[in-house]
Structures are given as structure tokens and as C-alpha cells.
């Protein structure tokens, strides 16, 4: 027998003394006897509920998955798939919302009741049905359903808010890249991973050259635009598995898992080249700019922890700034070491990438 799955609103009858809900609840009646369905349907609709019906377990399950009703009035005794099995499948389906199930059981069948409740039914009513009792049980179950729905909605909202907060706490608002805090977490994680797998891991530190003059000459908004466009370039050049972040004002960090120092150098050189050839646009003008890079990699005998990797690439970046900018310097490379050796006698604390002093540290060859 084909299942009558049409939903029908309670249209005609006079309004019931107390409407069950703001929008009428939709109740699925499952029974293998057409007469039973008809009787229940008329009653339920006269109370202001919408109804749908299914004549067997299979059709009931199909209907519930497609359009979860607000409540199911479920006959236990059905051929093929019993009501018990239907209840078990519905309650076991994690994708479904909470749907109260009221089992219809034979008056004398304690076994059915116990089994039904164990299968996940929320309540039961014995046949022949006492309609006053049914009405009360429907109301009570639908009240629980409304509370449960509200709770689930709250939970969803909380999850969304949490997700937004997590994103905000990890992301740099201007560029959309990882922020410094998130980068630090990532470095620790990725470094530990690299060590575990004995795979190389590189870090590239990039800093725009003379960026202060962009703000001074064109204004802060132009500066922001440059930072955003630079972020886009970095993202484009990086691989899927790399992490790109903004470490500070105009300082960016790239984490390259699996990359050896030569790979990292080649990568940084490519990015450097691209920035050098890029025209940054902002409302009211265009400009070009260069960037300096420091790269460091594990394994290296001076790099034991994530912090060492950060410090080493930062030191290399410093040398890139000192030796003329718009260049890539590798930690512990010839250029780096020559510069360190030339500076050995000069134990001054290192300035923060400011203008090199006239007649300051000599550039290394």
C-alpha cells in the first residue's frame, strides 16, 4: 500500500480551546492499519496539529529523514520493520534533531513498553487509545521538544560565536593572515612534527624596506593597502601546506614544512623578486617597494628549538637590512658569517632595523 506522506494542515474545524503552538506541530502517524491512521488523523487535526502518515516502518524512516516531524506516534506492531526498530534507527541517527516518539502498544504488553523505551521511545500510550490521555501526552512531549529545539539552537549559536572568536583570535584583522600568537603556536607544532618525522623545516622572515616612508609620504591608509597587497602576494607564492602570517607591523613570517634551506632561499628569492616588480596601488596613487628576507632551517646544530629558528631567521633578516636591503640572507651562510665576523669587535646592541647610521657597521662582501 503506498504511504500517504502528504502533510495536511488542520484547516476547517473550529479552533481548539488551546492552540498547541505558535505554528502547528507536525505529527507523523505510523501504523499499518489505515483505519487507525484515519481516526488519529481526524483527532489530531481537530486539535490543531498538522499530520503526516506512513503505513510501514520503511516509509516512516524515509519521511523522517527527509522532513523531520515534531513528534512521531508510532505503532509497535508492524510487519517487516517493527516500531521498535524504527525508534532505534531514528534515535540512532545523529543527523536528526530531537524528535519525541510516543509508542502505541497493546494494553497488556509490558514487554513491548520496556523494549520500546529501551529503543529510545520517549513515552508510550496503550491501545485502545484514550484520547484525553493522548492529548495530554502530546502536549507534554511537544513542550519538551520545543525546549530541546531552543537548546539546540542556542548550542548552534554558541558554536558559531566560538568559531568566530577562534578565527578572530588567530587572524590578523588587516591582512587576514595568521597573527603572531597563532604563528607562535604553529611554529611549535610544526617544529615538533618536523623533528618527529625527521623532515626539514624552514622559516622565512620578511620585512618591507623603508616602509615608514610610505606612511609618511602617502598616509597610513596607503600603508595599509600595501600591507594587504603584500599579504596577497605571500599567500599566492606559498604552497598549500605553508603557513603565512603577519608577525608584526610590516614584518611577515612564512613557515615552510619539508623545505630545506636551499628551497627556502629559492622561495624567498622568488618572493623578493615579485615584490620588487610589483606596483602597489592605493586610492590616489601607486608605488613600488622592496623587502628583505632572512631564512633559517632545521636541521642545524645551532637550532634546537622553535625559538632558535625564529631568532636565527630574524638575525639573518637583520643582516639583510644591514647589507643593503632588498635581499635574502640565510642564517649561517657565508654572507651572514662574514657580517657577524666583521661586527665582532662591535658589541653594541643591535638597533631595531632603523636607518643604518652614517659610517656605521661596514657592509660585508
Catalytic residues: 250
In the stretch 159-198, what mask flags binding to Mg ion with x, by CB under 5 A?
Answer: ----------------------------------------
- Kindly report the number of other CB atoms within 10 A of residue 325's CB atom: 16
Q: What angle do CA 185, 187, 189 make, to 5 degrees?
A: 70
249 scored as a contact of ligand GH3 (CB under 6 A): yes
What is residue 96's three-state secondary structure? coil
| Total residues in contact with Mg ion, by rule CB under 5 A | 6
CA torsion sign, 263 to 265 to 266 to 272? positive
Q: Which of 51, 50, 152 is nearest to 97 (CA)?
A: 152
211 scored as a contact of Mg ion (CB under 5 A): yes
What's the residue count for the chain? Answer: 365
Closer to Mg ion by Cβ: residue 298 or 353: 353
* Burial of 287: CB neighbours in 10 Å, binned 0-12, 13-18, 19+: middle
| Total residues in contact with ligand GH3, by rule CB under 6 A | 18
Provide φ and ψ at 224, rounded to 5°: -60, -40
Contacts of residue 121, defined as CB under 8 A and 6 or more positions apart, other chains included, come to 74, 87, 101, 102, 103
215 scored as a contact of ligand GH3 (CB under 6 A): yes
115 scored as a contact of Mg ion (CB under 5 A): no
- Cβ atoms of 276 and 290 within 8 Å: the answer is yes
Q: How far is the CB of 148 from ligand GH3 (least distance, A)?
A: 47
Contacting residue, 29, 101, 208, 329, with Mg ion by CB under 5 A: 208
224 scored as a contact of ligand GH3 (CB under 6 A): yes
Helices first, then strands: H and E counts in the chain: 11, 12
State the pairing for strand pair 71-75/26-30.
Answer: parallel
Which stretch in 2-10, 74-82, 184-192, 245-253 sits in contact with Mg ion by CB under 5 A?
Answer: 245-253
Q: How far is the CB of 249 from ligand GH3 (least distance, A)?
A: 3
| Run of H or E including 30 | strand 26-30
Dmax (CA) of the chain? 103
When CB distances are held under 5 to 8 angstroms depending on the partner's kind, the choice from Mg ion, ligand GH3, none that residue 321 binds is: ligand GH3
Contacting residue, 181, 193, 212, 270, with ligand GH3 by CB under 6 A: 212
Contacting residue, 223, 245, 257, 294, with ligand GH3 by CB under 6 A: 223
115 scored as a contact of ligand GH3 (CB under 6 A): no
220 scored as a contact of ligand GH3 (CB under 6 A): yes
When CB distances are held under 5 to 8 angstroms depending on the partner's kind, the choice from ligand GH3, Mg ion, none that residue 325 binds is: ligand GH3
Q: How far is the CB of 155 from ligand GH3 (least distance, A)?
A: 37
Which stretch in 102-110, 223-231, 265-273, 302-310 sits in contact with ligand GH3 by CB under 6 A?
Answer: 223-231
207 scored as a contact of Mg ion (CB under 5 A): yes
**CA–CA separation, 315 and 201 (whole Å):** 17
247 scored as a contact of Mg ion (CB under 5 A): no
State the cell numbers at 358: 652614517
Provide the angle, in degrees to the nearest 10, between the axes of the packed helices 57-66 and 83-92. 20
Interaction site with ligand GH3 (CB under 6 A): 174, 207-212, 215, 220, 223-224, 227, 249-250, 321, 325, 353-354
Interaction site with Mg ion (CB under 5 A): 207-208, 211, 250-251, 353
Amino acid at each position: 500500500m503506498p504511504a500517504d506522506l502528504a502533510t495536511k494542515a488542520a484547516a476547517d474545524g473550529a479552533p481548539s480551546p488551546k492552540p498547541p503552538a505558535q505554528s502547528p506541530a507536525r505529527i507523523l502517524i505510523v501504523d499499518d492499519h489505515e483505519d487507525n491512521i484515519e481516526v488519529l488523523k481526524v483527532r489530531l487535526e481537530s486539535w490543531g496539529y498538522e499530520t503526516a502518515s506512513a503505513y510501514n516502518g520503511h516509509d516512516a524512516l524515509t519521511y523522517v529523514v527527509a522532513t523531520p516531524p515534531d513528534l512521531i506516534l508510532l505503532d509497535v506492531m508492524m510487519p517487516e520493520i517493527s516500531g521498535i526498530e524504527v525508534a532505534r534507527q531514528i534515535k540512532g541517527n545523529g543527523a536528526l534533531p530531537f524528535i519525541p516518539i510516543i509508542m502505541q502498544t497493546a494494553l497488556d504488553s509490558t514487554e513491548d513498553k520496556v523494549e520500546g523505551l529501551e529503543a529510545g521511545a520517549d513515552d508510550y500510550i496503550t491501545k485502545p487509545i484514550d484520547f484525553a490521555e493522548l492529548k495530554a501526552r502530546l502536549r507534554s512531549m511537544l513542550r519538551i521538544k520545543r525546549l530541546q529545539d531552543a537548546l539546540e539552537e542556542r548550542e548552534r549559536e554558541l558554536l558559531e560565536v566560538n568559531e568566530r572568536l577562534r578565527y578572530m583570535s588567530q587572524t590578523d584583522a588587516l591582512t587576514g593572515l595568521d597573527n603572531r600568537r597563532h604563528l607562535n603556536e604553529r611554529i611549535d607544532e610544526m617544529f615538533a612534527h618536523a623533528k618527529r618525522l625527521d623532515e626539514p623545516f624552514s622559516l622565512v622572515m620578511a620585512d618591507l624596506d623603508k616602509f615608514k616612508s610610505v606612511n609618511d609620504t602617502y598616509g597610513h591608509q596607503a600603508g595599509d593597502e600595501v600591507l594587504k597587497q603584500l599579504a596577497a602576494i605571500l599567500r599566492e607564492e606559498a604552497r598549500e601546506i605553508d603557513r603565512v602570517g603577519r608577525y608584526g607591523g610590516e614584518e611577515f613570517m612564512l613557515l615552510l614544512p619539508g623545505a630545506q634551506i636551499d628551497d627556502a632561499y629559492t622561495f624567498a628569492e622568488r618572493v623578493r623578486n615579485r615584490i620588487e616588480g610589483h606596483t602597489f596601488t592605493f586610492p590616489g596613487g601607486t608605488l613600488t617597494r622592496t623587502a628583505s628576507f632572512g631564512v633559517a632551517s632545521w636541521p642545524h646544530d645551532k637550532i634546537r628549538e622553535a625559538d632558535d629558528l625564529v631568532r636565527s631567521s630574524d638575525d639573518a633578516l637583520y643582516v639583510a637590512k644591514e647589507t643593503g636591503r632588498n635581499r635574502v640572507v640565510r642564517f649561517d651562510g657565508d654572507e651572514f658569517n662574514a657580517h657577524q665576523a666583521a661586527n665582532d669587535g662591535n658589541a653594541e646592541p643591535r638597533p631595531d632595523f632603523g636607518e643604518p647610521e652614517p659610517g656605521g657597521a661596514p657592509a660585508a662582501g
